[in-house]
Amino acid sequence: AGDFTGGRKAPRVVVLGAGIAGLTTAYELAKAGYQCRILEAKPRPGGRNWTVRSGTEERELGGGTQRAEFSAGQYLNAGPARIAQHMVTLDYCRELGVPIEPFANQNGDAYVHLDQVGAPLRHRTVKADAHGYVSELLAKAVDRDALDKELTAEDRERLLAFLGDFGAIGKRADDWAYRGGPRRGYRVPPGAAGVTGEPYGPLPSLSEYLARGTGRYLSFEVDYDQAMMMFQPVGGMDRIVRAFVDRVGERRISYGSVVREIRDRAAGVEVRYTDARGRERVERADFCVAALPPHVLARTAHNLGSAVQSALRTPAPLAVGKLGLEYRRRWWEEDHRIYGGITETDLPLTHVWYPSHGFHSERGVLVGYYHYRQDALDFGKLAPRERIARAVALGERIHGPAHREELASGFAVAWHRIPHIEGGWIEWPENSVAAYDLLNEPAGRVYFAGDWLTHYIGWQAGAIGSARRTVSLLHERSVRA
């Protein structure tokens, strides 16, 4: 099969890491007829594509072992959890037969919770006020002829008409005021007969609104990689991993295999590793694709030279934490009328996610926090049980007692403390183009692959894109040889 017929021997490739980059590499190479073997340090495939379910166990660096006690069917996508429509990840879902469902990345009824304000605000309220006040100010500026250099007489009229709709402001020269309105939402919704509805109040003044600094919560939903519609695999993100592993063949993956040394030789590569039983072994192949995090590769012995070594040391891993909380009751739906989406907060929780599936069922897993950097480091230092207790105490400020009282169990992942991964994703410092470019080319017979070698860091689409490019480079070279 594949491209190696008529007596040509298919090259052997050793792939380091069974994360999404490594799995894509092995999958695509196998299609073309290559002989692949994957060495994976962890006892499971997927890397950061990791779905925590009942019985999932993990021992963190410098910490104890956590065991998930979620009930049947409940899970946390601890790593990737959302896929945008343009992402190549969806093409693999289609090709691999992984069913998908909508992921609610935006919800006007979810909250923006600022500790100084106290009561949570609905996202729609914060947005309505932004549109309203910005429109009011702009209409006034136009009306006072402050923008005559920028606008023709026609533009002026059209802009004022636009702002009337966009901001729901007054539409007369003597009254451009924003006074709130239905877009802000209701405390008591409009209804039958004389029930006109009671709007959320009070409307903050422009000055109060600006002081809250909520603008940053409104930009997310228009980001290229975050705008709705978004998707998730039905049943957990690791359905993608499962499908890849089934196609690649479980027997081609050696788990518990920790790479110790990579040697590039004139006629092939040698990878020395410790297997699951602690035995030293050597894997020989024609090529190697190292699909490991750069900071892990940087402490693996190799003969690829000092330029490669200093390049591998350049990207900086980022601390990231994600907490799954299973509840006995879907109180966010019943009590708050929030069905999926994300609450943003200035509490150290940062993002709180409501599940996008299982609506109206008995239980559900909430993402109790998804945070980065200092917040992730602070929580990561605590024992998992304390992380949960602290997160629940903070969540109570947003949602009230149910956030604590209805809790069944939790599983708190500190990515920077997960062995063999040690970070949520990486950041390239300024002026690291040379290092980036160097690692995007093979070092002899050794290729690198991963989201960290793309302009799509922290996405499976990056890992897949990098793997596909690496496979193309490698294939062009071996069919030429």
Identify which of residues 77 and 135 has a Cβ nearer to ligand PHE in the complex. 77
Q: Mapping DSSP to helix (H, G, I), strand (E, B) and coil, where does residue 44 land?
A: coil
Question: 113 or 322, CB closer to ligand PHE?
Answer: 322
- Beta carbons within 10 angstroms of residue 48's beta carbon: 23
Cβ atoms < 10 Å from Cβ of 97: 10
Measured from the CB of residue 155, what is the shortest distance to ligand PHE in angstroms? 35
Give the CB-nearest residue to ligand PHE.
458
Of 45, 167, 423, 458, which one interacts with ligand PHE (CB under 6 A)? 458
Alpha-carbon distances of 287 from 3, 11, 28, 445, rounded to whole Å: 17, 8, 15, 5
DSSP state of 336: T
In the complex, what is the shortest distance from the CB of residue 45 to ligand PHE, in angstroms, rounded to a whole number? 20
Q: Which is nearer to ligand PHE, 187 or 455 (CB)?
A: 455
Q: Is 459 in the site for ligand PHE (CB under 6 A)?
A: yes
Cβ closest to ligand PHE, residue 50 vs residue 459: 459
341 part of the interface to ligand PHE, by CB under 6 A: no
Smallest distance, Å, CB 247 to ligand PHE? 24
Nearest distance, CB of residue 82 and ligand PHE, angstroms: 6
Q: Which residue has the tokens 């590769």?
A: 297
Report how far apart, in Å, the C-alpha atoms of 257 and of each of 42, 53, 261, 275, 309 are: 7, 24, 12, 4, 22
**Interhelix angle 20-31/238-248, nearest 10 degrees:** 30
In the complex with ligand PHE, the residue whose CB is nearer, 71 or 226, is 226
Which two tokens mark 181? Answer: 């309105």
Question: Is there a contact between 128 and 166 (Cβ–Cβ < 8 Å)?
Answer: no
The distance of closest approach from Cβ of residue 370 to ligand PHE in the complex, given in angstroms and rounded to an integer, is 7
Closer by beta carbon to ligand PHE, 167 or else 317: 317
Q: Which of residues 55-84 bind ligand PHE (CB under 6 A)?
A: 82
Count of residues in contact with ligand PHE, rule CB under 6 A? 3
Nearer to ligand PHE, 176 or 459 (CB): 459
The verdict on 442 binding ligand PHE (CB under 6 A) reads: no
Query: How many angstroms separate the first and last alpha carbons of the chain?
Result: 19
Residue 412, H or E segment: strand 407-414
Q: Which residue has the tokens 């030279």?
A: 305
Nearest distance in Å: CB 95, ligand PHE: 22
Cα 156 to Cα 52, 134, 151, 169, 330, distances in angstroms = 56, 16, 6, 16, 49
Residue numbers of the site for ligand PHE (CB under 6 A)?
82, 458-459
